[in-house]
Amino acid sequence: MRILRYLPLIICSIQFACAQQLEIKNLTGNYYLFTTYQQIDGQRFPANGLYLSTDEGIVMIDSPWDQTQIQPLLDSIEKRHNKKVVLCLATHYHNDRTGGFDYLKSKGVKTYSSLQTLKLCHKYNEQKAQFIFKNDTVFNIGGYSIQTCYPGRGHTNDNILVWFGHDQILYGGCFVKSTESQTLGNLKDADLHSWPKSLRKAMKQFPHPKYVIPGHRGWQSNDGLSHTLQLLRNHKKH
């Protein structure tokens, strides 16, 4: 009887903990940003992903950090939209982008990455996509055109951008730093020499985005590309 008495409290505590690890916010129209968290150096650190609700199902850009965060996200999406995730595309090989791929595949979700990302996933034993594209490509799903773009080396050698041309949304992933960020963050795999050139290429290709979504922290400003370029200049000075 004592166990039953405390069971509702335990369930509420678990639900609250899950809610604290997942946030979903409407960006615009049928686009939503989801944020999951991981403890890094004793700090609760956010990672952004994006999903688009279409008539053919949900398209997700990047996976949460690990598979324990996937099911709460899938449940939240299905409850909100009464639709299932049909496709997930990773923007580079790190586990804050690919960490849920195996679980997603087990749920019948098609997972995609570039060939460069696949090779790095093999090298560093990260979860691998089921389907691969070798060059920049376009996914046409439910009336939406979703374009991938490789700008060049930056945060990693394989980082790509995703462009939603109809609504002028540039998903930058970790290639782009939030304007809230005062440093370049994890530089373990960064190419600091190539990154500025890659940024200028992206700024030329996508000169007037309405939204620029970084891989971490706030996304309310669309100045992420120029801010990242300035951070690189500051880093070079030091």
Tell me how many domains the chain contains: 1
Tens-digit pLDDT profile for residues 173-232:
999 999 999 999 999 999 999 999 999 999 999 999 999 999 999 998 999 999 999 999
Residue 136 lies in a domain: yes
CATH number of the domain that residue 97 is part of: 3.60.15.10
- What is the C-alpha to C-alpha distance for residues 133 and 220, in angstroms, rounded to an integer? 31
The amino acid present at 108, given as its one-letter code, is G
Residue 216 lies in a domain: no
Residue 8 lies in a domain: no
Lookup: tokens for 157: 């050698």
Residue 16 lies in a domain: no
Of 30, 94, 159, 216, which one is the catalytic site residue? 94
Residue 121 lies in a domain: yes
Tens-digit pLDDT profile for residues 119-162:
999 999 999 999 999 999 999 999 999 999 999 999 999 999 99
Annotation marks residue 81 as catalytic? no
Residue 63 lies in a domain: yes
Annotation marks residue 136 as catalytic? no
**Boundaries of domain holding 95:** 23-174
Annotation marks residue 166 as catalytic? no
Task: Annotate 17-51 with b (16+ C-beta within 10 A) or e (fewer).
Answer: ebeebbeeeebeebbbbbbbbbeeeeeebebbbbb
Of 30, 48, 62, 92, which one is the catalytic site residue? 92
Residue 197 lies in a domain: no
Annotation marks residue 135 as catalytic? no
Give the single-character DSSP code of 67: G
Residue 3 lies in a domain: no
The model carries a pTM of: 0.90
CA distances from residue 174 to 1, 56, 162, 195 in whole angstroms, order as listed: 50, 28, 12, 12
